[in-house]
Amino acid sequence: MSVLKKRIYNARIPILIVLTILFTFALSIFMLSRQFNKFKEESVYYYNTIIKESIDRKIEISENSEELFDKKAYSLMNSISSELGGLSVENIDPELLKLISKKYDVTGLCILKDSGEFATIETSTVPGEQGMTTEDWGFWNTAIVELFNGEEVTVDKGFSIENFWIGPKTYSYVEKEAKGQSSFYKYAYIKNPGQEYMVSAIVSEQNYIVEEYDLNDLLSRYESDIDFIESVYIVDLSRLKNNAADKEPFIVFGSDRLKLFPLVSQEIKQSGEDLTGTHSIKSEGRIYDFILNKISDEYYIVTIMSGNNNFGGIISTLAILILIFSLAIYFVSVLIKKHNLQFQKLLTLESKRSAVALDLSKVLSSIPDYVFKCRLDDEEITLVFNEGSAIESENYLPFGSDPVPISDYYPEEFVSSLRKQILLGFKGIRSQLEFKLSDKIYSFSTSPVYSGPCEVSEVMVTGIDVSSYIEEREQSRYMACHDSLTMLPNRNMLMQDMQDIIAKKTPAMVYFLDLNGFKSVNDTLGHERGDELLKDVGNSLLESLEHNMKLYRFGGDEFIVLDSELRAPDQLLELSRRFKYAVSSLESQFEESVNLGVSIGIALYPEDGDSIESLIAKADRAMYESKKHSSRLYTITI
């Protein structure tokens, strides 16, 4: 036997050991990679399940905030339209619109003119819009044409009332075509009968989202807190499957910062109805995995993760190593060192996995304020799990704890209020309850936990702090019915109060007050001084009201007083003198020579009409009669 053959023969055991080690290592890498992918998928599903209650609530809050803003926008647009007054299109330039935009805190304004079957943008604060038409705007054009024709808006999207319509949130057509950007905006439109044009306001998403409940922020924190998560957003698959128009965004929350959504949407369409499991896409030589989690019939969470971009390189490296180590009979010691190095890489990979799990645990523990599970033992509600950022450490109950009475951990008043919702949960019914704990208002949601078909074994309760949202909601409701300048009840509240009077058939009087001399104050002293005068007029008129009277700002320099008591002629004379003095007495505030007055028209219900429109119209005509005959204190319809 030659020396070479003998050395090879003697080295057969080390070679077998080395090959066995390399094979085991390759198999371990392969299995660990699979396990890590499975861990990522399970982690994403588990995380999405835990935060689903928070997402549901935040979507509800975002949509409610958007709905409240839509109603509030009606008053805002009336104020903007009144600001333009009787100006013609030729006298409205972009600089004037920019001043009004800044005053009313809107992103932009434009003026549209009727062109028959569509409208044309005559003037705008947005560069590049002037001269554009709405001819290819789809349902937006339909709504705009209907407003110009004085018709009711029939489009089933957005919100409309009388001569006002605000569409659903959408992209800016100028930004998207010129810069490829896709920020979300609201477009509102109002067409007042006294104006030959239509006013449109652009409002950015930041103006109506409640910051504390911004889903974009929640999803952004999700991305930054977990290493293997590349991007997270919520999509409306119903629009995607129906091939909705490009101006309707498919991504409703979150940001496609990697610009992968075209590939994601293509993969979704190819998958048909089977949206389960992990899907893979490739972009610029990199592999990405993504998972879809259902929130509702329309909304899905899309979670994009980094894929196995280096696995092929690992396999190639191992193949080369096997070849090298098979020939390297004399370098067994080097092979052992190589083995130790690879083993260290394996430990590092396991360490990273543990770090990801720890990061995920930190994120999960920081999201809900209260999370606890309940059981029903002989009509007594017990806790088997109690956690959340608002939970004191001594009240923490880990998974698998023995049942303890819920009253040992929460106040009796809270337990009594929540008991009904928990019992509904054991019947398979989800419910919600708002309750004040520790000077904060929390929204508690109950969800049944099934242990078998139609068998509820536990009820999961989650609570999040909604104190800021409740305060914002109440403020929005208040502002929807009050004028933003004078803080008086506005046209919306007037319509509601008059509707109540007509429904109850209660006799009443409507006083229509129009200021005299206000236009000269605006023209000579500026709009800012004019606004101060309107606030002073409102306060002065309030002091002159009798019992059972209510003052409203109708628009511009017009006010309406609603009186639920029918008054005799001598009382009307006295009231008219008082109203006129309340206005004229404000002349002393001005250093300049100013003549202020008020023209008054009165209509009676039910004698002068049985509808809101007819009563206001008659009071308006009577007011103009008083304006023609300046010696009259008031004019009443006959």
Give domain limits for the chain: 85-211, 370-470, 481-636
Dihedral angle of Cα 211, 213, 215, 218, to the nearest 10 degrees: 90
- Contact between residue 224 and residue 254 where contact means Cβ atoms under 8 Å apart: no
Model confidence at 123: pLDDT above 70? yes
pLDDT tens-digit profile of 43-57? Answer: 666 666 666 666 666
Backbone CA torsion sign across 530, 534, 535, 536:
positive
Token digits of residue 467: 């104190």
Q: Render 38-53 in DSSP notation, one character per residue.
A: HHHHHHHHHHHHHHHH
Amino acid at 622: A
pTM equals 0.43
Task: Identify the CATH number of the domain defined by range 85-211.
Answer: 3.30.450
pLDDT tens-digit profile of 43-99? Answer: 666 666 666 666 666 666 666 667 777 778 888 888 888 888 778 888 899 998 999
Radius of gyration of the chain (CA): 35
Write out the CATH class of domain 370-470.
alpha beta
* Domain 85-211 identical in fold to domain 481-636: no
Over the chain, what is the mean pLDDT?
80
Among 206-215, 275-284, 494-503, the minimum mean pLDDT is found in: 206-215
Task: Please report, for residues 381, 483, 499, the alpha-carbon distance to residue 621 in angstroms, rounded to integers and kept in the order given.
Answer: 68, 24, 21
Q: What share of the chain is helix, strand, coil (3-state, %, to 5)?
A: 50, 25, 25
Confidence of residue 509 (pLDDT cuts 50, 70, 90): very high
Tell how strand 370-377 and strand 455-465 pair up: antiparallel
Q: Which residue has the higher pLDDT, 122 or 40?
A: 122
Extract the runs of DSSP E, i.e. beta strands, from 246-343.
251-254, 278-283, 286-294, 299-306
Token digits of residue 34: 């699979």
Residue 46's nearest CA partner among 332, 363, 306, 430 is: 363
pLDDT at 472: 86
Task: Please report, for residues 446, 497, 504, the alpha-carbon distance to residue 564 in angstroms, rounded to integers and kept in the order given.
Answer: 47, 10, 12
Alpha-carbon gap, residue 41 to 305, rounded angstroms: 9
DSSP 3-state of 254: strand
Extract the runs of DSSP E, i.e. beta strands, from 321-439.
370-377, 380-387, 404-405, 431-437
What is the CATH superfamily name and number for domain 481-636?
A: Reverse transcriptase/Diguanylate cyclase domain (3.30.70.270)
How many residues in total does the chain contain?
Answer: 638
- Contact between residue 619 and residue 626 where contact means Cβ atoms under 8 Å apart: no
pLDDT at 37: 66
